[in-house]
Structure 1
Amino acid sequence: MSMISVVVPTYRRVPDLLRCLAALDRQRRPADQIIVVCRDNDVDSHAAVSSRGDVGIELATVARPGQVAAMNAGLDAAKGDIIAIIDDDTAPAADWLERIERHYAADAALGGLGGRDVIHVGDTTIPASERIVGIIQFQGRIIGNHHVGYGEAREVHVLKGANISFRAAALAGARFDGRLLGSGAQVCNEVGICAAIRRKGWRLLYDPAVLVDHFPAVRHDEDARNTFSPVAQYNAVHNETLALLDALPAWRRPVFLAWAYAMGTRASPGLLQAFRLSALGEPHAIARLRASLEGRGAAVKTWWRAVAGAE
């Protein structure tokens, strides 16, 4: 039997954290180690963990803001053969760890596993609707869809941090990228670590039956949900670009950059995409383009400095 460690990064979301920990209490296959990671100044989260009186829950603290530092602290503290990470605003199904353990036991080449995070919006949930999940397309476009995936378990390129696990042996020193920007969510943080595991020959699997319920909570940073912020846009595109430049083979990087600057996506537009969205009356289209171009350019410089320094 494997030893399973569960890492829960949190910051100032006490009710969500307590719901998550209560769901972990209900696991049919209990966790062998639970690590809650929070900021050293987040006294409310510290008190919430202490108030439960659980000797089985370990508290790790970080001084640096952002999800990357918290998840890396969790990886460093984890002792398990399998390390599962979930967001504090999720509640795993009772068979969550049971299914995770079964997958790793059945496939010795499995390095990472993710599942569906069922997003709750008020009293409803977003239904499963997509078979294409966790793919990086040829030109570098990332297709997520982890929250709406359905069907059988299948191999993917990228998993989602709200519901993700790794075989400790597959990590072998790999960590989430500390160069990513943002003081909170630091989007695209999963791309780099997933790519590093795949480069070593391990498989990544997405199984929509490995379920957590996801109750998207307030983010206490510049990346507020459903609100445009030039800073958050800059950070998101920077992180996406940096992660993909590391993840893609050398011959695909120019293809990605040409596509990203010319077209891009609705969320991270290039020139043509922004002009199309502006013509359609999309709010903030030009401001989104400006922040995207600046963030992408900064990421290219960061990536190039790292490459030049390694030569």
Structure 2
Amino acid sequence: MKNTVLIPTYRRPLDLSRCLLALQAQTKPVDQVIVVVRDTDSQTWEFLAQSAYNLPLQTVTVSVPGVVAALNAGLAVVEGDIVSITDDDAAPRPDWLEKINAHFLADSRIAGVGGRDWVHQGNRLLDESRQIVGKLQWFGRVIGNHHLGVGEPREVDVLKGVNMSFRQKATANLRFDERMRGTGAQVHFEMAFTLALKRAGWKLIYDPKVAVDHYPAQRFDEDQRHNFNEIAFINLVHNETLVLLENLPPLRRLVFLIWAIFIGTRDSLGLIQWLRLLPSQGQLAGKKWWASLQGRWQGWQTHRQFVK
């Protein structure tokens, strides 16, 4: 199998260098490395012009902000049988591609393979563990935990963007959803892609041993990870709502909307979550709740625009 690795990058040349060095050290050599760079990103272009790696490196230019446009531009030039996607602030472990290929070779029904991203928080490695990873519950709550997964390889519903690989035969006509909002991270973009594969009858596998080291770096958009930003919060909830409305059957869709409005999660608040967070977060909890309601409404509106 020929392996392509696709990396979207933006203004993080030192992180990108670490990622490329990790790809250089793979036990199964990579056949194509695609780095997608924004046209205005002079830092990265200068870095690439001055650097040399023992890799079959190819650059693609994109002018539209956001990870979705970058990945779709990269997918258009993929030559490998398997395309593996990772972030510029991640470093795949040496046996990453070798383990990925083993899964695809073992079962032709597998469309996607993902694994654990070991998160480095400064000098600390986040080493907690979870058994449930990447599952969409019947009422619409999505359990991630890809960065905490342990145990044996198993089927999942959702993979994570920092560590996901796809069989080109399964994804040849599939692209990342350009309706995802955000000017950078566009949270939940991978959920739309992977649930579409599940809906088409393909299998997705999560294997904790298919590992990358993840060094969460600065973002250059409205989504600043752990700091509240109203626009980023609305975008996150919009994207989640749109994806789930388009991938759940009618009855479960109704249940999801009721659950989302009245209960929700810490990231997408419903009434109960707002009341639970109110004593500790005060006005911030109210801002998150209001942003969540706006995101739900806007996600519903976007969904209705595309209902046939």
Moved more, 82-91 or 37-46: 37-46
For residue 83 of structure 1, what is the aligned residue in structure 2?
A: 83
State the alpha-carbon separation in 2 of the partners of residues 251 and 51 from structure 1: 56
State the alpha-carbon separation in 2 of the partners of residues 80 and 65 from structure 1: 26
Query: Is 2:175 the counterpart of 1:175?
Result: yes
Residues 272-293 of structure 1 show CA distances to partners (whole Å, capped at 9, x for unaligned) of 2212211344551000011110
- Which letter maps to 1:11? Y
Residues 237-256 of structure 1 show CA distances to partners (whole Å, capped at 9, x for unaligned) of 00111111112122210010
1:65-214 superposed matches below 5 A: 65-214=65-214
State the alpha-carbon separation in 2 of the partners of residues 112 and 44 from structure 1: 33
Displacement of 1:122 in angstroms is 1.2
SS at match of 1:258: helix
Runs of 4+ in 1 over 3 A off after TM superposition: 279-283
Does the 8 A contact of 1:245 with 1:253 survive in 2? yes
Does the 8 A contact of 1:191 with 1:247 survive in 2? no
SS at match of 1:212: strand
For residue 20 of structure 1, what is the aligned residue in structure 2?
A: 19
Query: Is 2:3 the counterpart of 1:4?
Result: yes
State the alpha-carbon separation in 1 of the partners of residues 128 and 70 from structure 2: 30
Displacement of 1:128 in angstroms is 3.8
Query: Is 2:37 the counterpart of 1:35?
Result: no
Displacement of 1:56 in angstroms is 1.8
SS at match of 2:289: helix
State the alpha-carbon separation in 1 of the partners of residues 291 and 200 from structure 2: 34
Where do 5+ consecutive residues of structure 1 fail to align?
none
Q: How many residues are paired up?
A: 307
State the alpha-carbon separation in 1 of the partners of residues 114 and 249 from structure 2: 24
* Superposition TM-score, scaled by structure 2 size: 0.97
For residue 236 of structure 1, what is the aligned residue in structure 2?
A: 236
Residues 149-207 of structure 1 show CA distances to partners (whole Å, capped at 9, x for unaligned) of 00000000000000000001111311111001100100000111101111221100000
Does the 8 A contact of 1:182 with 1:232 survive in 2? yes
State the alpha-carbon separation in 2 of the partners of residues 164 and 107 from structure 1: 17
- Which letter maps to 1:179? R
Where do 5+ consecutive residues of structure 2 fail to align?
none
State the alpha-carbon separation in 2 of the partners of residues 201 and 61 from structure 1: 33
For residue 224 of structure 2, what is the aligned residue in structure 1?
A: 224
What is the aligned-residue identity percentage? 50
* Superposition TM-score, scaled by structure 1 size: 0.96
- Which letter maps to 1:86? T
RMSD across aligned C-alpha pairs, in angstroms? 1.1
- Which letter maps to 1:90? A
For residue 49 of structure 2, what is the aligned residue in structure 1?
A: 50
For residue 306 of structure 2, what is the aligned residue in structure 1?
A: 306
Displacement of 1:37 in angstroms is 0.4
State the alpha-carbon separation in 1 of the partners of residues 247 and 14 from structure 2: 36
